[in-house]
Amino acid sequence: MAGRFLARRLLQAAPTIFLIITACFFLLRLAPGDLAQIMAGEAGAAPPGYVEELRVRFGLDLPLYVQYGHYLARLAMLDMGYSFRHEQPVLELVLERLWPTLLLGGTSLFIAIAGGTALGTLAALRHNRLTDRLISFLSLVAYAAPTFWLGLMMIIVFGVQLGWLPTGGMMPLGPSPGGWATVLAVLRHLLLPALSLSLFYMALYVRLSRTAVLEVLKQDYVRTAASKGISRAQTLRRHVLPNAITSVLSLAGVHVGGLIGGAVFVETVFGWPGLGRLAFEAMLQRDYNLLMAVLLFSSLLVVATNIVVDLLYRVFNPRMSGDPS
């Protein structure tokens, strides 16, 4: 059943990816400015006829629909073009920046889901007490605060004032220490940007899981379990936590796109060398080939993460496993 479900989700994702590729291509091609002129400007003082030479070389003199067909043909061969700003193939550049974004995004999503579910469950179990009110208040603050502002405040407090954590980058300057020292260095650089990116979604999941747990605690089967002498820990593990987790997972996939969008600000603020920062640089430099590739990979990440979240949802909610749809 899992294999059929995965195959169906992949087939459903294919038209979405195709529409995203098409929309991005035409929107970027129809943007103001002459791409050949931009490329010539980056190359320095252009001799006479150089702009036209670039236009012919990269097929920019062809009709738009022909350019689109050529782009799809190259894309099928994993040729995403050349970045005139970085002077290297786009695919190589994107793959270099992909794993830092996967590390940041995956860590942030895990913190948001795990932290939000745990705090929301705790708030529900301490309903209308000081713990509940404190968690609810802090989640409201985290929800209202802009992500980039949180990042700047974390840099000022934990990086500059207290000096506990590094304020930017992914590794310290100088030679790599190697071994576990490298892993520890990456984790220290990862903590602030991951927290900054995850707090907004953690606040959402706190309120969502709190509501779900309160609803479960009111159900007759929970009261019946307690009357039969089943321990509170077993009741929480069998009934309360699965419902809290599934309520969060039902929306986590939807929020992945926003998480990747927020990574643009977070990676720029913290100097994290990922796809978000690369996309920001590509927009400033009007490096359209690079921007197209980043948008495509970001879309693939969103689709892939949604499929993983759907599979996890079926794990925590076994009733979905027999869904024939």
How far is the C-alpha of 66 from the C-alpha of 174, rounded, in Å? Answer: 48
Q: Phi then psi for 82, rounded to 5 degrees? A: -125, 135
Among 152-156, 303-307, 320-324, top mean pLDDT goes to: 152-156
Q: Give the rounded percent of residues in the chain with a pLDDT score beyond 90.
A: 9
| Residue carrying structure tokens 């699965």 | 242
pLDDT for 250 equals: 74
pTM: 0.80
Say which residues have a Cβ less than 8 Å from residue 139's Cβ, sequence separation at least 6: 119, 202, 203, 206, 207
Instruction: Compute how many other C-beta atoms are within 10 angstroms of the C-beta atom of residue 99.
Output: 12
pLDDT in tens, 235-292: 777 777 777 777 787 777 778 878 888 888 888 888 888 888 888 888 887 788 888 8
Q: Note whether 276 and 101 are within 8 A (CB).
A: yes
pLDDT in tens, 60-110: 778 888 888 988 898 888 888 888 778 888 898 999 888 898 899 889 989
pLDDT in tens, 127-162: 889 999 999 999 998 888 888 788 888 889 888 888
Task: Select from 142, 146, 193, 138 the least CA-distant residue to 165.
Answer: 193
| Mean pLDDT of all residues belonging to the chain | 81
Say which residues have a Cβ less than 8 Å from residue 255's Cβ, sequence separation at least 6: 201, 204
Task: Select from 130, 149, 137, 309 the least CA-distant residue to 207.
Answer: 137
Decide if domain 99-285 falls under CATH 1.10.3720.10: yes
The pLDDT of 24-48, averaged and rounded, is: 70
The pLDDT of 205-231, averaged and rounded, is: 79
Q: Give the rounded percent of residues in the chain with a pLDDT score beyond 70.
A: 89
Is residue 45 pLDDT above 70, yes or no? no
The span from the first CA to the last CA of the chain, in angstroms, equals: 11
pLDDT for 46 equals: 63
